[in-house]
Structure 1
Amino acid sequence: MNNDNFVKSTETLKETVPLMIKHKVPTTPANYALWYTYVTQQSPRLNQAIDGEIAEQGQCSPTACDKLYQQHIASKTVKDMAQLKQSLTAMMQELSHSMTDTLSETESFQHNLNKGFNQLELAEKEGLSLEETMGLVRNLVKESRNIQLSAGAFRTQLNSAQQEIAALRAALHESQKEANEDALTGILNRRAFDRDMESFQLKKQPYSLIMLDIDRFKRFNDDFGHQMGDQVIKAVARRLKESCREQMQAYRFGGEEFALVLPNRSLASARQHAETLRRNIEKIAVMDRKKGERVNSITASFGLAEQQPQEPVIDVIRRADEFLNQAKKLGRNRVLPVN
């Protein structure tokens, strides 16, 4: 990098950091890359997307930054995945070749073993000398050692491959944890919820929280199977996502429990939204393909909480969850608090 480029990069960085501070964007390497690109205006589509996010949501949330980074910056990820695929293919080919070689050597050993036994039987009949007989035995021992070495080498390779696969599985698990979207429903997951709530707390932005839980969900799994349970979860998630407007965001909180965040909304507004959503969930019908019947007895219970000034996120969640539990105890399929 020449001096002019260095000075230009430094000036760009001086613009990038205050902009991130202004929008309270977490200072991660990915966010640095995202906002550095924004300042340099290298990608008009990225600038348009960020400007639109700020205009619509009043902020660029951590999950929004991650999404924009994946869409506009992280092309390297595609290359890394291609490299991973190539490495896995090479490893499997190597194992396949080793297995083929080992099987071939095993067949050769079997052939030589049969040949040796035949010669020993012939020796017994024809009365070969002790030296000739010992020569046959030595050949059998040698062949046995060769196949042991071949099998040992293959076993070592399998162990090494097993370790590589375990490492890849761990890396995949970590990457899945890093993802913001729930794999089953496609809406945001608990990790995204925690990060966004932390962002609300940092920016001191008021909000109301809706927690909801599918009623008698275990029954769907017990009576119709887990696939039906998954279909119910996905159907409810779609209704939540469809209901989101004006900066609202839906999350799968865990299992059959969901969360809906309503920025700058009062408890009364959140209750109205939750009541509409409750009625819409009542209308859901899911087809049981095994029996050819439609399951239309889906309901959910709701608990609400409006964040009080300076109130920690954990207290808001706890309060909403307490109302949710009360709603279930009072008969389910209802929204609490009433007022």
Structure 2
Amino acid sequence: MSLQSVPATPNNFAVWFNYAMGTSPALRKTIDILIGNKRKFDSAINHELYVTYVNPQSNAGTAAGDFPEQLQGVISTARQFLAAAISDNRTQIEALGEVSSQVETTSDPRSIIEKLVTELSKATTRASTLEANFAETSHELDKIRDSLKLAEQRSNTDALTGLANRRSLDEFFRSALIATMETGEPLSTLMIDIDHFKKFNDSFGHQVGDQVLRLVAKVMLDSVRDVDHAARYGGEELIAVLPGTDLAACAAIAERIRRRISEARLTRRATGEEISSVTVSIGVAQFRMAESAEAMIERCDRALYQAKQSGRNRTVTEKDIDGDVAAA
């Protein structure tokens, strides 16, 4: 840990203890790759190693511990229901005990039967009330769960395009890079920039510009798999991360996206006027073992720059970058 400048925190110590003991071959392989490629063990990498190989439940546990006030209220109510039920049960047990003690001392069983019927009736009523209360509580919990799920989706989604946002992209990248180093499978990215996007806003207004963005986002989303991650990178730039996909396959997907967008036709909703065709430029790059996500995106961005410099409406991979651009 000292040689790699890893802070001596409990979580980091747990990671490196498991590494030293060899309890996780996958962890050892990943760290060895990182060391071999002189990758810095920053806070993001250290955290991802911990939650991936040492304590996968830690992320979920952190979220679960941060209960909203509404959830705390439901839990408090449920505890009150249980406390009341326990108290009532104790009272009923005592009452049944008294009835039991009278069995041997009375000659008239009718009074005993009446008391038993009364206590059983009370028990039935209490059980029905408790069941109704917990059914209502369960309904409230379902509503809270749905609200939390929706809030989580919104926090990870770009409102305009429906794609993942930068926050979600960063989280996906961290886990995808770790998984790629562990398995050795390829990982590629494609970055899309809408050609002459400013022209759409200037000529037709921002609503048409938004319409163009949504069109490109939909085509990209429809063209990738469920395991891939499509996101809005910023402005008119979109990005997709494709696990298990090499450079050639990613370039083929990028080219299919480019063609579908160029063949699409948009009309202005207010007037029905046909808008000039939309084209995009795309850069493609493949992950190099133990590099950072930023390094791969930077190569992808250089390929995208080359595509725009070469006339736009084309796909360029990192292999296609000429010497001057690659050195820039």
Instruction: Evaluate the alpha carbon distance shift between residue 230 and residue 246 of structure 1 in structure 2; reply closer, same or farther with a 3 A threshold.
Output: closer
Aligned length: 190
1:22 deviates by: 5.0
Q: Kindly provide the CA deviation profile for residues 291-313 of structure 1, in whole angstroms up to 9, marking residues without a partner as x.
A: 42111410000001000111111
CA RMSD of aligned residues (A): 3.2
1:138-287 aligned within 5 A: 179-205=155-181, 206-245=186-225, 247-287=227-267
In 2 relative to 1, CA 200–26 (structure 1 residues): closer, same or farther, beyond 3 Å? farther
Hey, what's the Cα distance between the residues in 2 that align with 1:208 and 1:331? Answer: 24
The equivalent residue for 2:283 is: 303
Q: What one-letter code is carried by the residue in structure 2 that aligns with 1:273? A: I
- Highest relative contact order (Cα 8 Å, sep 6+), 1 or 2? 2
Unaligned segments of structure 1, at least 5 residues: 1-18, 35-71, 82-174
Match of 1:334 in 2: 314
2: CA distance, partners of 1:22 / 1:280? 41
Q: Over residues 173-232 of structure 1, what are the superposed CA-to-partner deviations in whole Å (9 max), with x where a residue is unaligned?
A: xx8998100001111111111111111223335410000100000000000000000000
Distance 1:329 1:217 in 2: 15
Aligned partner letter, 2:244: N
Q: Is the 8 A contact 2:267 2:273 kept in 1?
A: yes
Task: Decide whether aligned partners of structure 1 residues 21 and 307 sit closer, same or farther in structure 2, where only a CA change above 3 A counts.
Answer: closer
Letter in 1 for 2:239: A
Runs of 5+ consecutive residues of structure 2 not aligned to the other structure: 1-49, 66-140, 321-328
In the TM superposition, residue 249 of structure 1 has moved relative to its aligned partner by 1.9
1:259-313 CA-partner distances (Å, limit 9, x unpaired)? 0111011100011111111000112222113442111410000001000111111
Secondary structure at the aligned position of 2:283 is classed as strand
Q: State whether residues 266 and 275 of structure 2, in contact with CA within 8 Å, keep that contact through their aligned partners in structure 1.
A: yes
Deviation by residue 1:241-273 (Cα, 9 ceiling, x = unmatched): 111126222111111100011101110001111
Shift of the 25–296 alpha-carbon distance from structure 1 to 2, 3 Å rule, reads farther
TM-score w.r.t. length of structure 1: 0.50
**CA separation of 1:178/1:23 partners in 2, compared to 1, >3 Å: closer, same or farther?**
farther
After superposing on structure 2, the runs of 4+ consecutive aligned residues of structure 1 that deviate more than 2 Å are 19-34, 76-79, 175-178, 201-206, 289-292
* Contact preservation (8 Å) 2:188, 2:242: yes
Q: 1:27 aligns with which of 18, 43, 58?
A: 58
User: Within the alignment, does 1:75 sit opposite 2:144 as a pair?
Assistant: yes
Contact conserved, 1:283 with 1:296, CA < 8 A, in 2?
no
Kept in 2, the 8 Å contact 1:284–1:296? The answer is no
Q: Which residue identity does 2:144 align to in structure 1?
A: S
